[in-house]
Structure 1
């Protein structure tokens, strides 16, 4: 894995309390970034932040629900007050209620799309305005698809981000904002020619200087 340097960059990672979001927060911190770690679970995200800071990195926890516009805007304002800017946004927040499509509860269905899809849109709106004002930035939607059966609603909420990524990349290009996605869990679509076998490696590459002229890329990393 190329050791990119993100020194001086402010990176906001949603869903940083576990899974790929946690790995992303730790990876950026190891490479010099100041990490704004978001999660709805205070216990999980505080643990991540404490570990990063204890290892010599710099991170701060932000406990907000990305599905709520007021909460998202409050978080973005807090990060602006603390760090002054947001250079990179990694959308990784997600919920995974399971159940057959014919039986899934309406509340669970709404929550899946509110967090996994609408939450990503709200984050891109609020952070996108910050990036527009500061002259640019990078947004990456980190999308893990289910490998288990009976996750149709969850899969739909995550696959929607592919279309969102392409359209947002087109809209945001005028503001020097690059928008990409890393898809995990579709090995049949993974392109070995991309050279990435680890989603984290793909994420870091998309945020690095070597891809500065690119936008709208969707990397399928099986």
Structure 2
């Protein structure tokens, strides 16, 4: 006569169901290590008698038991994730998660742009003036350099090199106007505020309770 598996009705918040899945995942890893080691690593260099054979049989039985338990845990894990997923869609958790992910991507892009378009960049219409000023400064510094052997000459040369290198390797261009940057800063601020709001809403939704039937032995193992 086939034994009927005992089950237990478990009613806990969605957030705790995620913890249950984490615990099942750890159990799966432990059992997988055991049966894989038994099924793939057992070997012998000699025969030591019937007791050795009995040990192999015991290990084989243990490996098979762990393998079957692993399959049951996988089925339970899949069932929990499917039911939690359905509930997430039903009450709006999935849409909040999608929104938060999109916001994080948008804010990352905006922060990168705003950091790069810093105040020290040069507007396109100012580039000619910057290079003209550098050229004028070069001539002015060279004109006042004393004979090469003097200390003042070496100091002036160093001053000129330091000043000129700012444009000698090019200048960073400001490709957005002040008004455009202001719009992006405001957008970033609004997105960050909405992300915090969506995260709070998500936390509130995760206390929603869900009832599922679990095999009694597995429910006991994961503490529910």
Structure 1 and Structure 2 fold alike (TM over 0.5): no
Query: Given the two structures, how large is their TM-score scaled by the length of structure 2?
Result: 0.24
Q: Which has the higher contact order (CA 8 A, sep 6+)?
A: 2
More helix by share: 2
Larger radius of gyration: 2
More strand by share: 1
Query: Given the two structures, how large is their TM-score scaled by the length of structure 1?
Result: 0.24
